[in-house]
Structure formats: C-alpha cells, structure tokens
Amino acid sequence: MATSSLASPSKIRATGPGPLRTARGAGRAEVREAGLRAPDLPRAGGFALAREVVPVLRGRGPVPVWEDVLVLREPGGEDVRVAMAPPYLVFTPVTRTTGVRVAPAGGALDTAGSARHAAQVTLALALSSALIAAVNWAAVWRHAARVEWWTKLLAVAGLIATALSAGAWSSAADGAGRWLVAALCLALAGDLALLGRTARRFLAGVAAFLLGHLAYVVCFVALGLPSPTWAWAVVVLLFAMLVVTRDVAPATYRLAGAAVAVPVALYSLVIAGMLVVAWQTGDALIAAGAAVFVVSDSMIGLSLGRTGFAGPHGRTHTAVMVTYHVGQALMVAGVLRSIA
C-alpha cells in the first residue's frame, strides 16, 4: 500500500521564543554559608527553600539571592528555572515537580493571617476590658472614688473596642452589630451621667440607658427571634422583677415627684421588654446577660428609697457593678457569636 505525505499547514500565528533550558545536570544550588547541595536543603511543602540558596545557571551566572526561583523537574532530568519576583506566600505542590509557589495579591494566606491577627487583637481587648472591670470592683469595694470613676468608663469603652475589633460595625447581619455598638455607646454616656449625684444627672443617665435598651432590642430583633420553648421562662423572671421592684416608682415619686417617677417607670417597661426580646433570640449568652443586667438595675432601683440619688453603697454598690459589667459582657459575647 503506497503512502503519501500530506502537506503540513503553514503557521498562521507567530509564537515567541521557547523557554530557556539549561543543560542536563545544570541548575546546581548551593547555600552561601554552609555549602550544602540542593538535596541536603531543608524542605517546606515538598520543595527547597529558594530564599536560602544561590542558584547557579550554566552560561548565565548566579541569580542574586534576593530573587526567588521557581524550580521544575522534568521527567528527563533537566531543570527549567524561571526567575520570578518575590514574595511567595501561598505554596501549591504540583505532581512530579519540586514545587510551585503562587502568591496572588490578597491571597488565602494573607486573609488567614489577617483574620488570625484580628482575633488576637479582639481577645486582647476583651481581656483588657475584663481586667479593668475587676479593678473597678476592687475600687468600689475600697471606696477609691477616682479609680472607680475612670475604670467604670474604661471598662465599657473596652467592650466597645472589642465589638469594633470583632467586626460588629461592618457585619452584614441586618445591622445587628451597629446597633450593638450604639447600645454600648449609650451605656457609656449613661455611666458618665451617673457619675454625678443630682436629680438632673440621674435623669440624664436614665434617658441614656433607656435608649441603650431600645438599641439592644433592635439588635436582638435583627439577629432573629426563633423563640425556643425555654425562652418563655422569662415570664417567671418578669414576675420576680415586678415583685422586687414594686416600690421603686412610689419611692421615686416621694423623692422627686412625677418628673422623676414617670421616666423611671418608663425605663422599667423598656428594660422588661429588652429582657423578653433577649430571651426570644434563643441565645443563652444574650438571655443570661439580659437577666443579669436586670438584676443590676433592680438593685439600683431598690436603693433609691434609702439613699436617693447618691446611689447604692457598700456591698450593694459592688454587687451592682459586678452584675452590670457581667451582663453587658455576656450580651456582647452573644451578639458577636451570632453575627460571626
């Protein structure tokens, strides 16, 4: 059977020069200080650490040590080396090769490193806030007024910084994180107002905390209200709160008239609503934090009839601050966990 050759089609598209290949056996690499050969080099992810070696390319001279080199091993034993600009942060092993390193801008390793750093900063801020709160409790116990004032404000400021560091402001959870930050800022404003001992400062503090509880309500609603069965146990807490604080409104009326008694009564309704909504989120941390916060405010209300606008004293004052900080911290932790 006769064979005939077919004409090959002519090239219709120009191509560039082929890859530069070194002679067989070229491409030796030596460590500048120790003089080790490539097989002796430490490996990471299946390839030699190119930053530690000085590649020797026959006919081209040494590549500067600051250049990274992508090393490919062909089945025939030849080395193909392509100079590439550093840095290489993400390492991708390739079958039958020494290694391939790819580092796109904003790569996965960059993202993971940034997230790890942010988590470390958030943890440090949370621990700092907890330490400041503990100092505040000790200052209240020892009647160190100046230390008490500063630490009272700094503890809540630390919670705000923790929430911001955890990404609350940029969270896409229907604005829940931003409402959390708003609630904490209003709590800080209320703490600042309550450093005074007058009726006007007391009303300013009540107004700030009332708005803060409303912000918490919006935050919890944004998280969702699955209303688990156990959440309805909040009715028992509400009843207990009503029994314990039933004399607060009459006491404030006798103390300063309707101008104070009405805002206090309104505040009681708002904080009760916040407690109910917190439990309907189904988050144990949020529910516990709201309950502890209510205990703190109930103790303040009970002290009005005895000490007036001077606030609670002694052990009661210490208990108020402990439950206040713990309640706030639990609610913050619950919201951040929900929006993470």
Tokens for 285, please give them. Answer: 């941390």
Instruction: Look at residue 258 and tell me whether its pLDDT is greater than 70.
Output: yes
d(CA 232, CA 293): 18
> pTM score, two decimals?
0.66
Instruction: Look at residue 334 and tell me whether its pLDDT is greater than 60.
Output: yes
* Cα maximum dimension of the chain: 122
Instruction: Look at residue 299 and tell me whether its pLDDT is greater than 70.
Output: yes
User: Quick one: pLDDT band at residue 121, thresholds 50, 70, 90?
Assistant: very high
Q: What is the domain partition of the chain in residue ranges?
A: 29-102, 110-339
Query: 226-246, pLDDT tens digit by residue?
Result: 989 999 899 999 998 888 888
Per DSSP, helices labelled H in the chain are: 108-141, 145-165, 176-193, 199-223, 234-244, 248-256, 258-280, 284-307, 314-339
The percent of residues above 70 in pLDDT, for the chain, comes to 65
CB–CB of 304/248 below 8 Å? yes
Report which of residues 97 and 118 the model is more confident about: 118
Query: 281-296, pLDDT tens digit by residue?
Result: 999 999 999 999 999 9
Could you give the 3-state DSSP secondary structure of residue 71? strand
Average pLDDT, the chain: 77
Give pLDDT, residue 69. 46
Amino acid letter, residue 278? A
Q: How many CA atoms lie within 13 A of 23 on its CB side?
A: 4
Amino acid letter, residue 184? L
Tell me 47's DSSP state.
Answer: S
Give pLDDT, residue 252. 83
